[in-house]
Amino acid sequence: MSAPAPARALLLVPLLGLLWGFNWPAVRISLTEIAPWTLRAGGMSFAGLVLVAVALVRGVPLSVPRRQWPRLIVAGFLSIAAFNVLLAFAQLMAPTSRAAILTFTMPIWATLLALPLLGERFDRRRLLGLGLGIAGLACLGLPLIRSGQFSPGLALALLAALSWALGTIVTKRWPVSAPALAIAAWQLLIGGAVAGLGMLVFEGIPVPKALSPPVLTALGFHIVGAQALAYFLWFVVVARLPAGIASLGTLMVPAVGVLGSVLLLGERPTATDWLGLALVVAASGAIMIPASRKA
């Protein structure tokens, strides 16, 4: 007897955390032989086309009202294009484990921006999340600043988190009247187009070359697993489970990213890095997971 749909969807939550978490070291390995603009252009474009195919198979309409295209493009540029490109350069300039932790402050920045831009009030859970997030950033940043190790790459990771948060604010302030699957597909294709333009300007047309087995494996996982498959599974999870449970998968991402960096990249996070990770995950959980009575 097969498990009911919600039970099967529940099994996908940790799988999503693993796919997106191990994407961090996979991207870093891919960047050793693939230029950042080229990597992002290929990854986002392929993932977008996969979602388009899924939408067509499922009969999900891809049309977007003409007047709403500007808001879709702005949100896609901030949440997808700028976010992914900034992270690629962040990982070239800083340890992947630290970049993953700093990037996951996204919900914290979105909460802060929602106060002046959306007029959302702070409740106890958000205040708790902000307090934990500030403590986590202090644990990560202060030791690095004192030792002179706060690199431009970490600043790019923070900028990527801010870009994602701004994209979220745009989406909330000016929503798009289209299915979520269609919005994600178009935003990924917008991100791929932006990265493709950057590739042509800064890197030129890529010349085909043989990749080493580790890079080829990492690239395949990044494009097929962490982009196309993960986005498809995310929409399955969101459609069948409460938002709070679905959010648990994203809470796993920085922890899995750090562990993947230790196992696959040989990085050695410090004690303050681990403490900062714990505080940032706790902060995001307080902000992202709704109270049980609201779930």
Would you kindly state where each structural domain of the chain is located, as residue ranges? 33-60+84-288
The count of C-alpha atoms lying within 13 angstroms of the C-alpha of 86, restricted to the half-sphere facing its C-beta, is: 23
Distance CA 184, CA 61 (A): 12
85 falls in which pLDDT band (50, 70, 90)? very high
Give the residue, 246 or 161, on which the prediction is more confident.
Answer: 161
Mean pLDDT value across the chain:
88
If you average pLDDT over residues 276-291, what whole number do you get? Answer: 83
Give the residue, 4 or 95, on which the prediction is more confident.
Answer: 95
pLDDT of residue 43: 92
Residue 4: pLDDT over 90 = no
Residue 293: pLDDT over 50 = no
Distance CA 214, CA 201 (A): 28
The per-residue pLDDT for range 105-149, each reduced to its tens digit, is 988 898 888 888 888 787 888 888 888 988 988 998 888 888 888
Residue 295: pLDDT over 60 = no
Give the residue, 278 or 294, on which the prediction is more confident.
Answer: 278
pLDDT of residue 152: 93
Residue 203: pLDDT over 70 = yes
Residue 2: pLDDT over 60 = no
Give Rg (Cα) of the chain: 19
The set of residues, in sequence order, having a beta carbon less than 8 Å from that of 21 and lying 6+ positions away, is 252, 253, 254, 255, 256, 257, 259, 260
If you average pLDDT over residues 11-22, what whole number do you get? Answer: 89
- Return the closest-CA partner of residue 83 out of 33, 50, 137, 44: 44
If you average pLDDT over residues 18-25, what whole number do you get? Answer: 94
Most confident of 64-73, 99-108, 231-240: 64-73
pLDDT of residue 240: 77
Contact indicator for 84, 222 with CB cutoff of 8 Å: no
89 falls in which pLDDT band (50, 70, 90)? very high
The model's pTM is 0.88
Q: How far is CA 102 from CA 27, 47, 117, 179, 267, in A?
A: 16, 25, 23, 31, 16
pLDDT of residue 119: 83
CA dihedral 219, 260, 273, 163 (to 10 degrees): 30
**DSSP secondary structure of 173-233:** HS--SS-HHHHHHHHHHHHHHHHHHHIIIII-SPPP-PPPHHHHHHHHIIIIIIIIIHHHH
pLDDT of residue 5: 56
pLDDT of residue 74: 96
If you average pLDDT over residues 74-79, what whole number do you get? Answer: 94
pLDDT of residue 243: 62
Q: How far is CA 263 from CA 26, 92, 241, 268, 274, in A?
A: 12, 18, 31, 9, 15
- Return the closest-CA partner of residue 55 out of 228, 241, 243: 228
Give the residue, 177 or 10, on which the prediction is more confident.
Answer: 177
pLDDT of residue 114: 86
